[in-house]
Structure 1
């Protein structure tokens, strides 16, 4: 390895916070850092056995933004002083979030090559902070999936084992961060699509309080459940990114009016003494992989030793959350996806024989443009909303949603923060559950309740499972608007676990030891 490649390898392994410090100190330029990540993408992302985290790479614009940051810093003065802390730190964006100058496909053929005429609010805020956008990341089509195998552009692979899934729907963002292709990424979380990929790739994923980060410009799947959030390698990095993208947006009718708390300060608190942490009785034990349970129990012991009070809480209606979610989400998705009709934008397929009516154009376009999983959920949602079934299905699911919210309210009377495994198992093999949608849906059993209730959730690496040496995620949940609590507890637990491991979890992944190891694994 040359001296130059060794330096680049060191750059891409820095946390976003550490990279920001080096940029501010002048030890490295934003162009050097951005180019190092672009080189990493070129090395490991493409090809038959590449990670396939990116659907589009935005090299020219990213380098131009980085050069602008370097020029401002070199000139000094008030403009340099006013630069955001993360200015010059590159980021990847899930391809469900619209961006000017780059295609936004939502992982679907129906939007192949489509360019948005406007930026999402979160993208506007990234641009205002002068963070180079490396590109758009892969996802399950329209965010419908738990494995990123339902993308129209091929599956993303887990950098820990290229034969395994990186979680979903935001597997592209999680894999990009885990494979050192980006220090930060944005994802969206409708039923766990930030947290579950975080769990199986050894990264940190946060679903903010519903409404605390604008959804304007995120292509909607289920509007009452969707939430944009950070994907990072450390809890502090998530707090830093969350602070950039969060806050009120008048263009989002569900946006909360109050400003965010100081999440970065919370991540630096370093104390859980006297805090009550509740174990959710229904979200561990039977049905959870033994290695997942072991790492979860170890995390509880570490928190207890740090002075936290561990209590058990029961949320009996969580057992119905999965069923309620898979009625509410498809119902809202069937309505939201009605706009993809082959008339206004995106793909248009004409019938092969007359008559050439709008109805037949719509049918031909949707048949060709949507994948099987999207069609499955549209059909399910349309049925649940149909006359004669609305009250029995969608109406009943909304009542269960209320019961889940009440369970959270009761639990937070007894505990300040709740804790559970993020996912019941480690990453499964590609193709293993494609023919069994119900088995696939069960991967979200621990993450879905937070979306139904709108409360914030954070997943952080809990260690490696004994059976397969793959990452396990620990999930923390807090009351709505109390995201700062998650960062406070998450940062402490992360510190305790890293002390136990002897360093960050990602450093233990042999596949990621050098930029060439992904190619080495190809020979296995």
Structure 2
């Protein structure tokens, strides 16, 4: 493996700006890593090497001509396969959209291209982002680079695994109930859910529209901040887009201490269901934050205990509505149309063939929750719980600057371990769901290892205060590097046993 691809995106950008590295050289190194590891990890669903090298050469030519380029120009990036791309299929890891190439780019993809980034390909995910393990993909599961017998989190396990395995320095994910943060936690990477409305959803295939939000996947806080700044900003095509300046996220990562910062520990995120090793790493991280100058207090958010059941009514209900468009009539899969069947029969056959088991489960649950006679009892009640969660966050942020918790209750579980137990699978998002319900910013940062597997620390901040997340995450990152003698992910090149061969 080339040592080049283990460098941070920020460092690689500086090398290119100084003329010590070309985008083509870096892109070739990443493509070689993908060729070596993707057959095992299945992180990428589609890669176009020649197109990627063309993009890289174009950036190199612009730089050689003296054009002033941004800090991420020439940096390779992976894109979760639920973002529309004109030069790659957008499948959402579903047979329903297999081979479909959109006629337009998602807003996030437009911004990546405008920043001069090199899009290598599309990364794997749970079908239509429905899952917590990247096992429900119609094109096979993604595996965790730390241990290929384990899952990489979900739904964006492909993006997180690609970054963890040095296939790309950066990747884009989407977060509906923890789909960026949870994979970040179990792969030892950084994953941030932007403030709802801070980054445009235009062209991101909708699962649950009031919860979905783009965000960055990276190996360092600075890299994540650079990518989030690149993909953020107002977009009139997204009705939820916030018309405010993008915060200085990169500047926040320069902080050297947490003097004057009040950090709240969410008391509801501990106890039964949390592994001892996860809690041990969490408490060690808390002490490092305290040593960095933070004031640590406990904060109770009682409504958070109801977030999981409320989420699994709201999300399937919105998903049922959004996925109704996949009917075999307009685009995507069309099954059973032999001239003898009615339109309704073709729709039924198409949906039977096109959606996987988890998709059907959630569509049925969501349709039931929205049906006459049950709307108020289920969906309406869940929305009331959502208001209580938002109120808990508002009260908490009157007392503290940020809230922290473990990112996930456990380390990565083994492939197949929870596929027959949906409730156990859904518990993986226990800590991450409240921030989606409230729309505030939240991110996961590496906090150490438990039995050789990564553990994440979640940092939550008020809406449009994403910079607070990066300040805390960056200070923790430096404290842990001082403790370990280097970044957590530097050990990836020396992993043994069932780990991916680097």
- TM-score tier by shorter-chain length is over 0.9
Does 1:96 find its partner at 2:82?
yes
Match of 1:473 among 456, 460, 481: 456
Q: 1:383 to 1:141 in 2, by over 3 A?
A: same
Does 1:370 find its partner at 2:355?
yes
Match of 2:206 in 1: 220
After TM superposition, give the deviation of residue 519 of structure 1 in Å. Answer: 4.4
Match of 2:36 in 1: 43
After TM superposition, give the deviation of residue 510 of structure 1 in Å. Answer: 5.4
* Pairs within 5 Å for 1:457-468: 457-465=442-450, 468=451
Does 1:34 find its partner at 2:27?
yes
Match of 1:356 in 2: 341
> The residue matched to 1:164 in structure 2 has which SS?
coil
> The residue matched to 2:403 in structure 1 has which SS?
strand
CA distance in 2, matches of 1:428, 1:118: 37
Match of 2:280 among 265, 279, 294: 294
After TM superposition, give the deviation of residue 355 of structure 1 in Å. Answer: 4.6
Match of 1:420 in 2: 405
Over the residues paired in the alignment, what is the CA RMSD in angstroms?
Answer: 1.4
Does 1:518 find its partner at 2:500?
yes
Match of 2:149 in 1: 163
Match of 2:366 in 1: 381
Match of 2:93 among 107, 111, 116: 107
Match of 2:417 in 1: 432
* Pairs within 5 Å for 1:383-402: 383-402=368-387
* Pairs within 5 Å for 1:22-421: 22-46=15-39, 50-76=40-66, 80-81=67-68, 83-350=69-336, 355-421=340-406
TM-score by length of structure 2 reads 0.98
Match of 1:486 in 2: 469
After TM superposition, give the deviation of residue 509 of structure 1 in Å. Answer: 3.0
After TM superposition, give the deviation of residue 517 of structure 1 in Å. Answer: 6.9
> The residue matched to 1:283 in structure 2 has which SS?
coil
CA distance in 1, matches of 2:392, 2:22: 50
After TM superposition, give the deviation of residue 518 of structure 1 in Å. Answer: 2.6
After TM superposition, give the deviation of residue 284 of structure 1 in Å. Answer: 1.9
Unaligned 5+ runs, structure 1: none
> The residue matched to 2:456 in structure 1 has which SS?
strand
> The residue matched to 2:176 in structure 1 has which SS?
coil
Given that 2:145 and 2:499 are in contact with CA atoms closer than 8 Å, whether structure 1 keeps it comes out as no
> The residue matched to 1:282 in structure 2 has which SS?
coil
Match of 1:452 in 2: 437
Unaligned 5+ runs, structure 2: none
After TM superposition, give the deviation of residue 36 of structure 1 in Å. Answer: 0.3
CA distance in 1, matches of 2:244, 2:256: 26
Given that 2:146 and 2:500 are in contact with CA atoms closer than 8 Å, whether structure 1 keeps it comes out as no
Given that 1:464 and 1:471 are in contact with CA atoms closer than 8 Å, whether structure 2 keeps it comes out as yes
Given that 1:179 and 1:512 are in contact with CA atoms closer than 8 Å, whether structure 2 keeps it comes out as no
After TM superposition, give the deviation of residue 351 of structure 1 in Å. Answer: 5.8
Given that 1:159 and 1:512 are in contact with CA atoms closer than 8 Å, whether structure 2 keeps it comes out as no
**Worse-superposed segment, 486-495 or 320-329:** 486-495
Does 1:506 find its partner at 2:496?
no
After TM superposition, give the deviation of residue 55 of structure 1 in Å. Answer: 0.2
How many residue pairs get aligned? The number is 502
Cα deviation, 1:322-350, whole Å, max 9, x if unaligned, reads: 00000000000000000000000000001
CA distance in 2, matches of 1:205, 1:168: 12
CA distance in 2, matches of 1:350, 1:498: 57
CA distance in 2, matches of 1:510, 1:213: 34
CA distance in 1, matches of 2:500, 2:177: 30
